[in-house]
Amino acid sequence: MEELRVEDPQSFFDYLRLEPAMFDELVQRVGPRIQKQDTYIRKAQAPGLKLAITLRFLASGYRYPSIMYSFRVARTSISLIIPEVCKAIVEEYKDEVITCPVIPEEWALIEEVFRNRWNIPHAVRALDGKHMAIRNPAKIGSSYHNYNGFFSVVRMALMDGNYKFLWMHVGAYRSISDAQIFDECELKNYLEDGSIGFPDPPLTSR
């Protein structure tokens, strides 16, 4: 990894799907959340190593044994590292990266982007669901088998006109429709009770 960083940054990016500078930022911000103490039995794995293992897994989709030989870390350890690092990344960045507007003025700014960039006036969001392919979890039968013929979980996301996530729901399964997911999620409740400051229609262009 260090050779790629110094001698071939493009290959570093191809390997982890992340530029060295962004990798360093992740280590700095997420590192304290995943740092463990050394013991008399063994030395704790470095946060940078844990992060690299997780990013390689996310970038490639390789099984744990393949990653084990790349990083010389036992697959039993990898099975613990990846969930730990993913959770740490979410906790560190969730309030910064995915933020939903809570006042009408913020929604009006989003409407302006849809109107000026996409020529769609009075729109403040794009909402859609996506089936993400997974391996069938053990002992759950066909619960995650969808109408397209593969196993998946559904990610439903709300985005603004610049492709930025405003809200996300992950975990629905079976051949459940977007309307059913929306009907059962907290976003619908927030819209109905007014807690996110959604403006009344029609939106007026400024």
Structural domain ending residue among the three candidates 76, 95, 114: 95
**Number of structural domains the chain divides into:** 2
CA–CA dist 10, 106 (Å, integer): 38
pTM, two decimals, is 0.74
Among the candidates 95, 120, 141, a domain finishes at 95
Whether 61 and 28 share a structural domain: yes
Tell me the pLDDT tens digit for each residue of 120-178: 998 988 999 999 888 888 888 888 888 888 999 999 999 999 999 999 999 888 778 88
pLDDT tens by residue, 25-51: 999 999 999 999 988 888 899 999 999
Nearest CA among 143, 108, 148 for reference residue 131: 148
Q: How many residues does the chain have?
A: 206
Neighbours of 141 (CB within 10 A): 8
Helices (H), 35-74: 47-60, 64-71
User: 63 and 121: one domain?
Assistant: no
One-letter identity of residue 2: E
**Does a structural domain hold residue 198?**
no
Q: Which residues contact 181 (CB under 8 A, 6 or more apart)?
A: 129, 154, 156, 169, 172
